[in-house]
Amino acid sequence: MPQEPNAEPNASGDEDAAGQAQHRFPYREIIWLSTQKAANRIGITTRTLYRFIDRGELPAYRFGRVIRLRLDDVDGFVEQCRVAPGSLEHLYPEARVADTDMTDDEAVDDASTEFAGIAAADDADPADADATVADTACSDATAADDTVTAAVDTALADVEETNGA
């Protein structure tokens, strides 16, 4: 069968009866996402999305002034970001190790003592706490004033010494 000069053959070089090129593999349509939709799909802000794109961590395409992302690329990026089990141990404090030498009664006494300390702090008079905070703040301010005054006096003495010499 003779080929027309403008006809595009498929992968095997065959054409259908109308002269149209037949594709051996089915065409898969690309699904494009806007930056807003891609950010919403991942659960991040568009600013963070742009940062990932700029670093080359997430592929994106510019069509004129519009930036689009392929759905497959976004889903692949999400899978790459999956957290491996056991990799977050540094983010939470270690569990308190039980003292094996402590009896059950000692453990109960220890817990009761801790609870009593917390309860006593809760029962404290707020006015006393405010007075203590105010006293501490005043003494800290006085100490800061003394430090500044000493620094100014030293600087003035240095200036006088330089001018006098």
31-44: pLDDT as tens digits: 999 999 999 999 99
Please indicate, yes or no, if residue 138 is contained in any of the structural domains. yes
Instruction: Please provide the DSSP assignment of the chain as one string.
Output: -PPPTTPPP-TTS-B-TTSPBPPSSPP-PPPEEEHHHHHHHHTS-HHHHHHHHHHTSS--EEETTEEEEEHHHHHHHHHHTPPPTT--GGGSPPPPPP-TT--HHHHHHHHHHHHHHHHHHHHS-HHHHHHHHHHHHHHHHHHHHHHHHHHHHHHHHHHHHHHH-
pLDDT tens digits along 91-111: 887 765 555 566 666 666 666
Please check whether residues 20 and 37 belong to one and the same domain.
Answer: no
Please indicate, yes or no, if residue 95 is contained in any of the structural domains. no
Question: Residue 122: pLDDT above 70?
Answer: no
Please indicate, yes or no, if residue 141 is contained in any of the structural domains. yes
Please indicate, yes or no, if residue 43 is contained in any of the structural domains. yes
Sorting pLDDT into bands at 50, 70 and 90, what band is 52?
Answer: very high
Q: CB–CB of 143/136 below 8 Å? A: no
Q: CB–CB of 9/21 below 8 Å? A: yes
Please indicate, yes or no, if residue 40 is contained in any of the structural domains. yes
CATH, residue 73: 1.10.1660.10
| Buried residues in 18-38 as b, exposed as e (16+ CB within 10 A) | eeeeeeeeeeeeeeebebeeb
Give residue 157's pLDDT. Answer: 72
Please check whether residues 13 and 39 belong to one and the same domain.
Answer: no
Nearest Cα neighbor of 35 from 14, 22, 51 is: 51
Give residue 28's pLDDT. Answer: 84
Please check whether residues 13 and 49 belong to one and the same domain.
Answer: no
Amino acid symbol at 15? E
Please indicate, yes or no, if residue 52 is contained in any of the structural domains. yes
Please indicate, yes or no, if residue 92 is contained in any of the structural domains. no
Please indicate, yes or no, if residue 50 is contained in any of the structural domains. yes
Please check whether residues 21 and 36 belong to one and the same domain.
Answer: no
Domain count, the chain: 3
Q: CB–CB of 66/59 below 8 Å? A: no
Please check whether residues 74 and 51 belong to one and the same domain.
Answer: yes
Please check whether residues 109 and 151 belong to one and the same domain.
Answer: yes
* Residue 58 burial (C-beta neighbours within 10 Å; 0-12, 13-18, 19+): buried
Please check whether residues 36 and 68 belong to one and the same domain.
Answer: yes
Find the domain containing 57 and state its range: 32-80
pLDDT tens digits along 83-96: 999 898 888 877 65
